[in-house]
Amino acid sequence: MTSNEQPTGTRGGLFGAGGRFKGGTDPIMEKFNESISFDKRMWAQDIRGSIAYAKAIGKVGIISDEEVKLLVEGLEQVYKEWEEGTIEIKPGDEDIHTLNERRLTEIIGPTGGKLHTGRSRNDQVATDTRLWTVEAERDILKDMATLLTEGALYAKQHIDILMAGYTHLQPAQPIRFSHWLMSHLTPLMRDAQRLKDLIPRANQCPLGSGALAGNAFGVDRTFLAKELGFDGVTPNSLDSVCDRDFVVEFLMWHALMLTHISQFAEDVIINNLLKGIDIDDAYATGSSLMPQKKNPDALELLRGKAGIALGKAVGFTATLKGLPRAYNKDLQEDKVPLFEAVDTVKDCLAIATGVIVTMKPNPEMLKKALSPEMLATDLADYLVRKGVPFRETHHISGACVRLAEEQKVSIDTLTLEQLQAIDSRFEADVTKVWDYEVSVERKSSIGGTCKASVLKQIDDILDFAKTLA
């Protein structure tokens, strides 16, 4: 974004610092320098900021009430042209500020030149970017509310399905399918909480900071903040024009959130491979050569986005690390990764929501993945309930597993005599251990996989999602 101290593409144009320069700008430099090709996305925020600023300089008597009215009406006309798609980008419109002020002056005449009194494109771009970012973050929270709500309702719908839980990609213990899904919604809930926490820090008004030293006409920055819906004002004018922490925070946030989406995608891919989950055709593609293929492309793309997201976050942070105080043109590099990050997040949330609500669990195949050996811990717990220390029961249960492996039989087919040969404290009721539903229901602590616990998790997610919409 162009600094107030930078020339426009025409050097000597109405809106730049052209009086300082005699020659024209190298055409390649004009292309290298411009930002209108991407910062035009902030047209609405730029006009809102200008309307507020016109009122602010009117309040301190820099312009008359009639001039305030003329400026506001002219800016509203520019806003309407953007809405209707009739605005025209012309040579010399190197950024969104230049374009809007140029068009304003065309509409209302020389009074348009008074709008920039005491204002710099440094505090202007900082204001636009904060407004745009906060609006985007609030919009993303609504998308996250949709995903969390739909995911939780889907989990409740399939509450009675059991599946194998894994650690190290090895079968571990039986769990509920809904418990597995909630394990992916839970970090996304944390992501939403983190995003909510970012907004108050981003939602601070830098307008009125000038180029770096403050505003020479004593504009009321608290008024500006209220007019624009900010929570407060930035405390230091020098920092205000170069602070992009809020951009870094969002980029870091989106990398972590997409990491969680990636983990979900990988889990679904694995379960799809094992035939435990069927992915809807809307989120798969075929092979150009092999007719039998159904590739989980949507999930693979979700998985791939996280690495690119981290690159954006690290890349822009590296750009910031060597900058001196106040505005430097390097800061123009914040827009593209920010805009791309928001677009990617919204697309990924929409795709992930679609995958969840259309995928179909296969109860038979999920049950087939369960094996009695996954109840070996339950066998150890059986003896714990008879007063045997767990460290001892763990060893005893392991001996039972080893015997079943040596006999090449399933552990649940070992006879009572065989079990008692390992430990005499096994009794006839040990057969009740080999029940997956009983095993799952014993995990009744908060956050566990029993039905009541999972339903509580679902209700908590649903309640939380209502706070986001």
pLDDT (0 to 100) of residue 6: 39
User: ∠ CA 331-260-152 to the nearest 5 degrees?
Assistant: 125
CATH topology of domain 372-444: Ribonucleotide Reductase Protein R1; domain 1 (1.10.40)
pLDDT (0 to 100) of residue 11: 39
Q: From CA 306, how far away is CA 258, in angstroms rounded?
A: 5
More confident residue, 212 or 289: 212
* The residue count for the chain: 469
Buried (b) or exposed (e) across 196-231, using 16+ Cβ within 10 A?
Answer: eebbeebbbbbbbbbbbebbeeebbbebbbebbebe
Task: Supply 213's token pair.
Answer: 């030293």
User: How does residue 33 score in pLDDT terms, banded at 50, 70 and 90?
Assistant: confident
Mean of the pLDDT values across residues 335-363? Answer: 98
Tokens 């907004």, residue located:
199
- Going through 336-438 in order, the beta strands assigned E by DSSP cover 360-361
Q: What is the mean pLDDT of the chain?
A: 94
User: How does residue 2 score in pLDDT terms, banded at 50, 70 and 90?
Assistant: very low
Helix ranges (DSSP H) in 163-322: 177-202, 221-228, 237-240, 245-273, 297-320
Q: What is the pLDDT of residues 60-87, one digit of tens each?
A: 999 999 999 999 999 999 999 999 999 9
Q: Which residues are catalytic?
A: 168, 287
Angle between helical axes of 221-228 and 43-59 (0-180°, round to 10): 140
Least reliable range by pLDDT among 19-28, 216-225, 378-387:
19-28
Q: From CA 469, how far away is CA 448, in angstroms rounded?
A: 28
**Cβ distance 237 to 214 under 8 Å?**
yes
Over pLDDT 70: what percentage of the chain? 95
Q: From CA 140, how far away is CA 335, in angstroms rounded?
A: 17
pLDDT (0 to 100) of residue 22: 62
Q: Which of 387, 361, 394, 392 is closest to 163 using CA atoms?
A: 361
CATH topology of domain 18-117: Fumarase C; Chain B, domain 1 (1.10.275)
User: How does residue 291 score in pLDDT terms, banded at 50, 70 and 90?
Assistant: confident
pLDDT (0 to 100) of residue 19: 59
pLDDT (0 to 100) of residue 23: 60
Mean of the pLDDT values across residues 425-447? Answer: 97
Q: Look at residue 109 and tell me whether its pLDDT is greater than 70.
A: yes
Task: Supply 293's token pair.
Answer: 């293929």
Over pLDDT 90: what percentage of the chain? 90
Residue ranges per structural domain of the chain: 18-117, 122-368, 372-444
Query: Are β-strands 277-278 and 360-361 bridged in parallel, bridged antiparallel, or unpaired?
Result: antiparallel
Q: From CA 452, how far away is CA 212, in angstroms rounded?
A: 58
Q: Which residues pair with 277 in a beta bridge?
A: 361
CATH number for 122-368 (one of 3.40.50.2300, 2.60.120.260, 1.10.579.10, 1.20.200.10): it is: 1.20.200.10
pLDDT (0 to 100) of residue 253: 98
More confident residue, 18 or 230: 230
Report how far apart, in Å, the C-alpha atoms of 331 and of each of 250, 324, 327 are.
15, 11, 7
pLDDT (0 to 100) of residue 3: 41
Can you give the pTM of this predicted structure?
Answer: 0.92
Long-range contacts of 430-435 (CB under 8 A, 24+ apart): 430/379, 430/382, 433/375, 433/378, 433/379, 433/382, 434/372, 434/375
Mean of the pLDDT values across residues 317-342? Answer: 97
User: How does residue 340 score in pLDDT terms, banded at 50, 70 and 90?
Assistant: very high
Q: From CA 376, how far away is CA 417, in angstroms rounded?
A: 18
Q: Look at residue 44 and tell me whether its pLDDT is greater than 80.
A: yes
pLDDT (0 to 100) of residue 333: 96
Q: From CA 39, how far away is CA 431, in angstroms rounded?
A: 69
Q: Look at residue 5 and tell me whether its pLDDT is greater than 50.
A: no
- Domains 18-117 and 122-368 alike in fold: no
Q: Which residues pair with 278 in a beta bridge?
A: 360
> Tell me, what DSSP letter sits at residue 328?
-
User: ∠ CA 86-343-47 to the nearest 5 degrees?
Assistant: 40
Task: Supply 108's token pair.
Answer: 């209302």
Least reliable range by pLDDT among 22-26, 33-37, 118-122:
22-26
Q: Which of 287, 310, 311 is closest to 297 using CA atoms?
A: 287
pLDDT (0 to 100) of residue 293: 80
Give residue 130's Cα distance to chain centre.
17
pLDDT (0 to 100) of residue 329: 96
Mean of the pLDDT values across residues 333-356? Answer: 98
Mean of the pLDDT values across residues 455-469? Answer: 96
Tokens 């068009």, residue located:
103
